[in-house]
Amino acid sequence: MTFPLARLGLVALATMLMPLPALAADTLNSGDTAWIIAATALVLFMTLPGLALFYAGLVRSQAVLSVIMQCVGIACLATILWLVVGYSLAFGDSVGGWIGNLDKAFFAGVTPDVLSGSIPEIVFAVFQMTFAIITPALIVGAYVERIKFSSVLIFSGAWLLLVYAPVCHWVWGGGWLSELGVMDFAGGIVVHATAGVSALVIAMMLGERRGFPDQVRPPHNPGMTATGAAMLWVGWYGFNGGSQLAADGGAGMAIAATHIAAATAGMVWMIIEWVKFGKPSLVGAVTGVIAGLATVTPASGFVGPMGGLILGVAAAVVCFYAVQLIKHKMKIDDSLDVFAVHGVGGILGSLMVSALALAAFGGGGLAEGQTVVGQLGVQALGVGVTLVWSAVLTVVILKITGLLTGGLRVDEDQEIEGLDLASHGERGYDLGR
């Protein structure tokens, strides 16, 4: 009996003396990491080329390259700003619940072996970078065909740091809205509400396009718009599914709800146009798809397939009539309907999640002790404060931008010529060659 016991003792001693493999290796999940890397690529794909082509097809042929250039410029600028200070402001240690500190500036301490949950923090930081890229790029749709490129860059950079980063911290970075229990899975408040209301403000301050509303040319290339919308639809799998930050059933359910909402909204929008105008349009159908995607975004990780279906119907109906109200009744030239589709959709989904998260609709349920009415109050507070913050800061940023650039708009001759040549010296199409 002594030999086995002695051997057992030696084995135990050897085990204790062995260098432990990094405990981080036990918590790092390679499957989660691989999925978030893929999701990061999908979200960048939403902006470049998805959003760029979606918007480019909706403008005049003389402005197609300018829209793509604006998206490219914002992507480059937002990347640098996110590295330098944006990530730290959004996800650094909280200062009073309102903003992050600067400890993570230039990704300080964000090394490959530092984890954020089950993935390396550097993967999380770059994933969030793609959100910081697409959010100001959404606003492009409000000011196409008539804004200086210098104004785009100055406004977008300042907006990213002064509007997006603080709201991101409030909701996702451990800020005060997070502590209240606000539900925003992938950006109904952080992305769509901020960009939507800012787009409405800039459309009003910048003024309408020449000939608006009666003589504005129709989209020059609906096929290009549909192609961009298809890329957005695919990329949204990473946008919403990736926000689970894990390769698990929750990510799968978020993707399912996302796809169902998009398809439902596209179909319902087609039906509305068919009944109202006699023909369903391609641009209308894909606009409905985007409305469904924006509306399901805040709820996607909390609802089930039935929730996705309901959100899709609501998105098409509410956003369709929001377009009619803002552009045709109020005569505000939010040129590509950023507020009516993204803003209204994001707000709608942020409020409806309060009920659709219930198990009765196939959702995962509310926080323990929380009621639908109580959660709705939290959601409304989050939406309301975000709208006010975004609108006020947008006005301030635009005023300063106008002073720095000698006015936000190009002159009338440049607008007539088209921004492709006037701002960038290039043509989108040269059929004479």
- For the chain, the domain total comes to 1
DSSP H or E segment with residue 152 = helix 149-159
First to last CA, the chain: 94
Who wins on pLDDT, 178 or 215? 178
Is residue 5 in some structural domain?
Answer: no
Span 95-109, pLDDT tens digits: 999 999 999 999 999
Q: What mean pLDDT comes out for the span 15-25?
A: 39
Assign 115 to helix, strand or coil. Answer: strand
Is residue 209 in some structural domain?
Answer: yes
Helix axes 121-138, 64-81, angle to 10 degrees: 140
Q: Tell me the backbone φ, ψ of residue 248, rounded to 5 degrees.
A: -145, -170
List residues bridging with 147 in a β-sheet. Answer: 409
Cβ contacts of residue 211 below 8 Å, gap of 6+?
Answer: 217
User: Angle at Cα 428 formed by Cα 426 and Cα 430, nearest 5°?
Assistant: 90
Is residue 374 in some structural domain?
Answer: yes
Q: What mean pLDDT comes out for the span 81-86?
A: 98
Q: Rounded CA gap, 232 and 294, in Å?
A: 11
* pLDDT at residue 255 in the model: 98
Specify whether the CB–CB gap between 153 and 145 falls below 8 A.
Answer: no
Other beta carbons within 10 angstroms of residue 115's beta carbon come to 17
Share of the chain above pLDDT 70, in %: 94
Q: Rounded CA gap, 272 and 349, in Å?
A: 20
Counted residue by residue, the chain has a size of 433
Dihedral angle computed from the Cα positions of residues 164, 168, 170 and 174, in that order, rounded to the nearest 10 degrees: -150
Total H helices, total E strands in the chain? 20, 4
Who wins on pLDDT, 272 or 2? 272
281 CB-contact burial (10 Å; exposed 0-12 / middle 13-18 / buried 19+): middle
Assign 415 to helix, strand or coil. Answer: helix
Q: Six-digit token pair at 119?
A: 């993935």
Is residue 202 in some structural domain?
Answer: yes
Other beta carbons within 10 angstroms of residue 390's beta carbon come to 27
Specify whether the CB–CB gap between 294 and 345 falls below 8 A.
Answer: yes
Q: What mean pLDDT comes out for the span 198-221?
A: 94
pLDDT higher than threshold 70 for residue 433: no
Q: What mean pLDDT comes out for the span 256-273?
A: 98
* pLDDT at residue 214 in the model: 84
Q: What mean pLDDT comes out for the span 82-111?
A: 97
Alpha-carbon torsion (209, 217, 74, 163), positive or negative: positive
Domain CATH number, residue 322: 1.10.3430.10
List residues bridging with 99 in a β-sheet. Answer: 95
Span 300-354, pLDDT tens digits: 999 999 999 999 999 999 999 999 999 999 999 999 999 999 999 999 999 999 9
pLDDT higher than threshold 60 for residue 242: yes
25 CB-contact burial (10 Å; exposed 0-12 / middle 13-18 / buried 19+): exposed
Span 357-393, pLDDT tens digits: 999 999 999 999 999 999 999 999 999 999 999 999 9
Q: What mean pLDDT comes out for the span 34-60?
A: 98
Is residue 431 in some structural domain?
Answer: no
Q: What mean pLDDT comes out for the span 419-430?
A: 95
Q: Six-digit token pair at 237?
A: 């799998």
Specify whether the CB–CB gap between 302 and 363 falls below 8 A.
Answer: yes
Is residue 140 in some structural domain?
Answer: yes
Alpha-carbon torsion (14, 18, 23, 27), positive or negative: negative
Q: Rounded CA gap, 396 and 216, in Å?
A: 29
Q: What mean pLDDT comes out for the span 114-134?
A: 98
Q: What mean pLDDT comes out for the span 43-47?
A: 98
> Can you spell out the DSSP letters for 78-105?
HHHHIIIIIHHHHHSSEETTTEE-STTG
Task: Count the alpha carbons within 13 Å of 78 in the hemisphere toward its beta carbon.
Answer: 30
Other beta carbons within 10 angstroms of residue 5's beta carbon come to 9
Output DSSP code: residue 388: H
DSSP H or E segment with residue 292 = helix 282-296
Q: Six-digit token pair at 222?
A: 């609906």
Is residue 75 in some structural domain?
Answer: yes
* pLDDT at residue 432 in the model: 62
Whose tokens are 């509305």? That residue is 272
* pLDDT at residue 374 in the model: 98
pLDDT higher than threshold 80 for residue 27: yes
Domain span at 342: 30-424
